[in-house]
Amino acid sequence: MKDILEKLEERRAQARLGGGEKRLEAQHKRGKLTARERIELLLDHGSFEEFDMFVQHRSTDFGMEKQKIPGDGVVTGWGTVNGRTVFLFSKDFTVFGGSLSEAHAAKIVKVQDMALKMRAPIIGIFDAGGARIQEGVAALGGYGEVFRRNVAASGVIPQISVIMGPCAGGDVYSPAMTDFIFMVRDTSYMFVTGPDVVKTVTNEVVTAEELGGAKVHTSKSSIADGSFENDVEAILQIRRLLDFLPANNIEGVPEIESFDDVNRLDKSLDTLIPDNPNKPYDMGELIRRVVDEGDFFEIQAAYARNIITGFGRVEGRTVGFVANQPLVLAGVLDSDASRKAARFVRFCNAFSIPIVTFVDVPGFLPGTAQEYGGLIKHGAKLLFAYSQATVPLVTIITRKAFGGAYDVMASKHVGADLNYAWPTAQIAVMGAKGAVEIIFRAEIGDADKIAERTKEYEDRFPLALRGGGARLHRRGDHAPLHPQADRAGARDAAHQGDGAALEEARQHPALTAGPTAGRPSGRPFSFS
């Protein structure tokens, strides 16, 4: 038995070497961790249980029968992150360039099936050159099996892809169907066809970084949700993200002990929003002051920067945040911002994550570029996402909520459960100046009269007086919200299922007799 165990350990040691010491050293020289080092850093110490360590390909063409390495270019298994189960696979660039073979794909499929069966998140770490050409259609068939399971897992378990090297050809489609993609700057690339093929076909000369680097995919294509300086930072941030996410679409959001008093008053919020309605301010700063300990994980921070999406906690519970950003394009909605926010809202809805929406939107961005780019359809995607959402929705209007954008940004009319108005809130078809110029167009030449009419229009609807009581939002009316107490407003998102307020709203005659009559009673709140 001793000899058998020793031989087994020798085989394990050989498998752990991947493509050999020289290739491991070359991996380090590129500034990258190895496949196993990435797993070791990602998972809790000693928690990794590996599957199929000794699997080898069965190709006999092009001399491949003489080139067999245990593991066949991918390490698979499960472990824990802060005590919570996750499944994962990590492609090994030192073995056949991490290329996908029939056996390689079978290992990934097995771990995907197990993640679905166990209802646990799955993480894919990519560092590979695409399909293994020597295996032909067998490799392509393997891709298809992986893709089918990506679709089956969508909206059921969180799927996270981390690109830590090349990700080309067929390899790109699996990450594209997952919930989040993160990249490492300067060492990771994603493209369907590489620079050489691009030059051959189109005569365009482009580098790998220009074609599919982290900067391109985080700021231009929107393929990636974030990028990091190196492998270590990327993996540590993935661990942080997992702490925000539920394990599946049935369990509630994770709850972490918070030492941040939900009832604390932040006096700085009184002055965060300028008195001048045209002066910008940082909505991201507002969110960070509202969430527990200022811990906010932003999604797609470099793309469509006129809208903010990300995860925070209130009273220890995960909440999704969507907010217009007045610092960029005055916070207007355009095609990119609408698509970005819609995708985030739909993810939160799939995984029962409450959503808080901060609104300061002057409208949709006008112009031929937007209209030709499909603004109508893209704007409708966000409207559809909010209208379809069955998770708690709390909306806080901090300043402007004009035109159709008011409706789209989680208004009460599309299903928001609670709507609050900051003292500086303005809700209208358009701004006072534009409205006056239309209503009183005959007086446009008289500057004094226009100024008088503008003030008259602004004073006609004193929003702070309309609240009438702290609980009028139960009946769908806007309630005025003191800025210092904004955390309490955000807290309502996490507690919508705990009290009788929402049930009272559901039974209101306007809902039971109106266009929403007949929809399923109650929303699936289960956050404890």
Q: Residues near 327 by Cβ (< 8 Å), separated by ≥ 6?
A: 280, 281, 282, 283, 305
pLDDT of residue 506 exceeding 50: no
* Contact predicate 387/312, CB 8 Å: no
Whether 230 is covered by a domain: the verdict is yes
The amino acid present at 353, given as its one-letter code, is: I
Which pLDDT belongs to residue 332? Answer: 97
Q: Do 112 and 216 belong together in one domain?
A: yes
Q: pTM to 2 decimals?
A: 0.86
What is the domain range of residue 359?
269-429+463-512
* Contact predicate 365/507, CB 8 Å: no
Which pLDDT belongs to residue 7? Answer: 81
**How many domains, in total, are found in the chain?**
2
Whether 441 is covered by a domain: the verdict is no
* Contact predicate 156/119, CB 8 Å: yes
Whether 252 is covered by a domain: the verdict is no
The single residue of 73, 169, 226, 497 carrying the catalytic annotation is: 169
Beta-sheet pairing, 307-314 with 317-324: antiparallel
pLDDT of residue 15 exceeding 70: yes
Q: Could you tell me the CATH number of the domain that includes residue 35?
A: 3.90.226.10
CA–CA gap between residue 17 and residue 22 (Å, rounded): 10
pLDDT of residue 494 exceeding 90: no
CA–CA gap between residue 257 and residue 293 (Å, rounded): 11
Joined together, the tokens standing for residue 291 give 């969430």
Q: Do 198 and 314 belong together in one domain?
A: no
Q: Do 285 and 216 belong together in one domain?
A: no
Between 245 and 64, residue with greater pLDDT: 245
* Mean pLDDT across 59-68: 70
pLDDT-above-90 percentage for the chain: 65
pLDDT of residue 49 exceeding 90: yes
Q: Do 191 and 290 belong together in one domain?
A: no
The single residue of 168, 405, 421, 490 carrying the catalytic annotation is: 405
CA–CA gap between residue 37 and residue 17 (Å, rounded): 11
Q: Do 91 and 144 belong together in one domain?
A: yes
* Contact predicate 362/330, CB 8 Å: yes
Helices 231-244 and 35-42 cross at an angle (nearest 10°) of 40
pLDDT-above-70 percentage for the chain: 82
The residue written with tokens 């991918």 in the block is: 74
* Mean pLDDT across 5-32: 85
Lowest mean pLDDT across 19-28, 347-356, 484-493? 484-493
* Mean pLDDT across 381-393: 97
Q: Residues near 518 by Cβ (< 8 Å), separated by ≥ 6?
A: none
Whether 263 is covered by a domain: the verdict is no
Whether 223 is covered by a domain: the verdict is yes
The single residue of 252, 373, 404, 467 carrying the catalytic annotation is: 404
Q: Do 37 and 83 belong together in one domain?
A: yes
Q: Do 217 and 82 belong together in one domain?
A: yes
* Mean pLDDT across 41-67: 83
Nearest CA-CA partner of 230 in 168, 182, 187: 187
* Mean pLDDT across 472-501: 56
pLDDT of residue 467 exceeding 60: no
Whether 445 is covered by a domain: the verdict is no
DSSP string covering 64-113: GGG---TTTTEEEEEEEETTEEEEEEEE-TTTGGG-B-HHHHHHHHHHHH
* Mean pLDDT across 369-378: 95
**Per-range mean pLDDT, top range of 226-230, 452-456, 514-518:** 226-230
Q: Do 208 and 302 belong together in one domain?
A: no
pLDDT of residue 502 exceeding 50: no
Which pLDDT belongs to residue 465? Answer: 43
Q: Name the percent of the chain in helix, strand, coil, to the closest 5.
A: 45, 20, 35
Give the tens place of pLDDT for each residue, 293-336: 999 999 999 999 999 999 999 999 999 999 999 999 999 999 99
* Mean pLDDT across 108-123: 98
Whether 446 is covered by a domain: the verdict is no
pLDDT of residue 525 exceeding 50: no
The single residue of 77, 97, 124, 170 carrying the catalytic annotation is: 170
Which pLDDT belongs to residue 458? Answer: 67
Nearest CA-CA partner of 170 in 131, 124, 139: 131
Lowest mean pLDDT across 83-97, 249-263, 323-337, 506-520? 506-520
Which pLDDT belongs to residue 280? Answer: 96
Q: Is 405 a catalytic residue?
A: yes
Q: Do 209 and 317 belong together in one domain?
A: no
* Mean pLDDT across 153-164: 98
Quote the Cα angle for 78-79-85, to 5°. Answer: 95
Mean of the per-residue pLDDT values for the chain?
86
Give the tens place of pLDDT for each residue, 394-448: 999 999 999 999 999 999 999 999 999 999 998 888 766 666 667 766 666 666 7
Q: Do 179 and 305 belong together in one domain?
A: no
Whether 115 is covered by a domain: the verdict is yes
Distances (CA, A) of 286 to 256, 267, 358: 22, 12, 9
The per-residue b/e assignment along 64-100, b for 16 or more CB within 10 angstroms, e otherwise, is beeeebbbbbbbbbbbbbeebebbbbbbbbbbbbbbb
pLDDT of residue 498 exceeding 60: no
pLDDT of residue 487 exceeding 90: no
Q: Is 170 a catalytic residue?
A: yes
* Mean pLDDT across 209-215: 96
Q: Do 283 and 225 belong together in one domain?
A: no
* Residue 378 banded pLDDT, cuts 50, 70, 90: very high
* Residue 457 banded pLDDT, cuts 50, 70, 90: low
Query: Exposed (0-12), middle (13-18) or buried (19+): which is 387, by Cβ within 10 Å?
Result: middle
Q: Do 336 and 199 belong together in one domain?
A: no
